[in-house]
């Protein structure tokens, strides 16, 4: 048997199972606590290594350690928007219910990570740059991303009809994805106060592994936290959206 | 994909392309306004209007830093290793301010070469280096222009 076909087949089946609200609910009852546990383990390890093991920076001293919250938050703010755009496109093209749920449930989590990246960046900028805020390309484009997230949330709830709201939000998610490359390349395309990329750059990361390892652990931990929050929110939304269906009623009867 | 799905796929792709193109053109049109600072090279080429406020960024030229008699006004050159701009600033300099460090000065030009700055910010680079190598790093930073034959970026 061709192993590639088997793996492909597995993901194909998983995709189709996740497409069904009922199957999604069953799977997420299992995956949500797993994601939560992985988040706790990875961020605990990352926090310990980042605060106590990684050496201080030669010019920023200990204040550089805010990187372990700032950079993972900023990465997640971009990653979550890309997930939303992909899910939005799937929803619009294949009219898949669960894709819309992913778009709408991701928006507040993405907004929170964007806000965290902006706030920690501001706290970092004050002592190191000498300013809380500057209208340079990186900071401004990240702020626009926050408004896109807030706009997506507002748009969904602006419609009385759920289906219209889902579609409008999916369109915004797809269209807004142009901001992602702009944010990433803002420090290369234009002069800015924000420095260039440290990790994803030609020639490899510009920091030793003792500083990089905790950063990657935190980033992975934050990603599982996103998964955890997304699945929890999606469970609620699925139950709400499908509240008139047989399986949800059965579920409620079981509880009572 | 069914024909309906193919049609929707095309619509999504066209919208995305259109928005991407529109954004690209808009950003191109505003290129100069999005740039955060002028380089000393641009200043040397006279790419500024007298009396207007600008930001200039460059490395603090080794040996150029002096404090005037009032004790709070600093004069120094920012450089890209080839062209220099003199900055005069009254106030407290950022902690990271030192020879070879990239800084951003915000102010207006009093003549073709000198900026009277209202604000000086430190612009640190993407390198993170453990503390124990601090002395070597600082020395290398201060001498950043020694071997440069042309304008450097920062």
Tell me the DSSP string of A8-75: HHHHHHHHHHHHSHHHHHHHHHHHHHHHHHHHHHHHHHHHHIIIIISPPBTTTBGGGGGHHHHHHHHH
Kindly tell me the burial class for residue A240, based on how many C-beta atoms sit within 10 Å of its own C-beta (0-12, 13-18, 19 or more): exposed
Instruction: Look up residue A203 and give its two tokens.
Output: 């020639």
Searching chain B, which residue's CA lies closest to the CA of residue A212? Answer: B128
Q: Which tens digit of pLDDT belongs to each residue from A200-221?
A: 988 899 999 999 999 999 999 9
- Domain presence at residue A145: yes
- Sole residue written with tokens 């702020």: A143
- Are B103 and B97 within 8 A, CB to CB? yes
Mark yes or no for CB contact A59/B137 under 8 Å.
Answer: yes
Query: pLDDT tens digit string along A225-243?
Result: 999 999 999 999 999 999 9
Residues B16, A174: C-beta atoms closer than 8 Å:
yes
d(CA A88, CA A168): 10
Among candidates A255, A251, A183, which has minimal Cα distance to A26?
A251
Residue A16 domain-assigned (yes or no): no
The maximal CA–CA distance of chain B, rounded, in angstroms, is 80
C-alpha span between B55 and B42 (Å, rounded): 11
pLDDT, average across residues A95-103: 95
- Contact status of A53 with chain B (Cβ, < 8 Å): no
Chain B residues inside the 8 Å CB shell of A127: 95
The answer for residues whose C-beta is within 8 angstroms of residue A240's C-beta and 6 or more apart is: none
Report the domain count for chain A: 1
State the DSSP code for B72: S
CA distances (Å), origin B31, targets A45, A221, B34: 43, 37, 5
Average pLDDT, chain B: 92
Q: Are B99 and B63 in contact (CB under 8 A)?
A: yes
CATH number of the domain to which A166 belongs: 1.20.120
Among A50, A94, A125, A193, pick the best mutation site for testing chain B contact (most B Cβ within 10 A): A193
Asked if A129 has any chain B CB less than 8 Å from its own CB, the reply is yes
Give the bridge partners for A58, in sequence order. Answer: none
Contact yes or no for B137 and A60 at CB 8 A: no
Pairing mode of beta strands B84-90, B73-79: antiparallel
Which residue range forms the structural domain that includes residue A218? 24-52+62-255
Instruction: Of A154-163, A234-243, B10-19, B133-142, give the lowest mean pLDDT range.
Output: B133-142
| pLDDT confidence of residue A8 | 84
Residues of A in contact with B26 (CB under 8 A): none
- Exposure pattern of A104-129 as b/e (b: 16+ CB <10 Å)? bbbbebbbbbbbbbbebbeebbeebb
When pLDDT is cut at 50, 70 and 90, the band that residue B110 belongs to is confident
In a domain, A178, yes or no: yes
**Number of other CB atoms surrounding residue A130 within 10 Å:** 22
pLDDT at position A1 is: 59
Beta bridge partners of residue B90, listed in sequence order: B73
For chain B, the structural domain boundaries read 3-33, 36-124
> What is the dihedral sign for C-alpha B39, B44, B47, B51?
positive
pLDDT at B135: 87
Q: What percent of chain A has pLDDT over 70?
A: 100
Q: How many Cβ contacts (< 8 angstroms) between chains A and B? A: 112
Q: Which residue in the set A58, A191, A198 is minimally distant from B131, CB to CB?
A: A58
pTM here? Answer: 0.93
Which superfamily, per CATH, for B36-124? Nucleic acid-binding proteins (2.40.50.140)
Judge whether residue A70 has pLDDT over 80: yes
Q: pLDDT tens digit string along A5-36?
A: 788 888 888 888 888 899 999 999 999 999 99
For testing contact with chain B, the best of A66, A93, A174 (most B CBs within 10 A): A93
B17, B128, B140: which to substitute to probe chain A, counting the most A Cβ within 10 Å? B128
Mode of pairing for the β-strands spanning B84-90 and B114-122 = parallel
């Amino acid at each position: 048997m061709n192993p590639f076909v088997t793996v492909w087949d597995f993901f194909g089946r998983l995709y189709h199972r996740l497409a069904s609200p009922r199957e999604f609910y069953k799977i997420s009852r299992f995956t949500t606590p797993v994601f939560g546990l992985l988040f706790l383990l990875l961020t605990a390890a990352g926090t310990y290594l980042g605060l106590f093991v990684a050496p201080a920076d030669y010019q920023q001293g200990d204040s550089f350690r805010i990187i372990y919250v700032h950079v993972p938050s900023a990465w997640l703010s971009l990653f979550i928007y890309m997930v939303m755009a992909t899910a939005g496109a799937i929803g619009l093209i294949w009219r898949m219910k669960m894709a819309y749920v992913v778009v709408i449930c991701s928006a507040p989590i993405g907004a929170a990570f964007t806000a965290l990246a902006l706030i920690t960046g501001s706290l970092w900028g004050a002592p190191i740059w000498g300013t809380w805020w500057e209208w340079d390309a990186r900071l401004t484009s990240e702020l626009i991303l926050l408004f896109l997230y807030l706009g997506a949330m507002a748009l969904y709830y602006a419609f009385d009809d759920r289906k219209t709201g889902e579609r409008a939000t999916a369109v915004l998610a797809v269209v807004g994805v142009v901001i992602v490359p702009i944010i990433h390349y803002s420090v290369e395309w234009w002069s800015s106060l924000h420095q260039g990329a440290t990790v994803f750059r030609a020639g490899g990361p510009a920091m030793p592994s003792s500083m990089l390892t905790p950063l990657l652990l935190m980033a992975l931990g934050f990603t599982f936290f996103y998964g955890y929050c997304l699945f929890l929110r999606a469970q609620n939304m699925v139950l709400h959206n499908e509240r008139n269906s047989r399986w949800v009623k059965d579920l409620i009867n079981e509880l009572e | 994909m069914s024909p309906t799905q193919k049609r929707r796929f095309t619509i999504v792709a066209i919208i995305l392309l259109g928005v991407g193109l529109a954004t690209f053109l808009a950003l191109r049109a505003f290129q100069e306004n999005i740039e955060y600072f002028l380089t000393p090279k641009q200043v040397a080429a006279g790419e500024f209007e007298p009396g207007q406020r600008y930001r200039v960024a460059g490395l603090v030229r080794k040996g150029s830093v002096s404090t005037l008699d009032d004790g709070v006004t600093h004069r120094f050159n920012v450089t890209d290793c080839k062209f220099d701009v003199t900055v005069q600033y009254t106030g407290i300099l950022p902690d990271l301010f030192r020879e070879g460090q990239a800084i951003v000065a915000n102010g207006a030009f009093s003549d073709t070469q000198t900026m009277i700055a209202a604000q000086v910010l430190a612009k640190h680079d993407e390198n993170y280096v453990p503390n124990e190598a601090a002395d070597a790093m600082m020395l290398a930073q201060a001498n950043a222009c020694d071997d440069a034959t042309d304008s450097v970026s920062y």
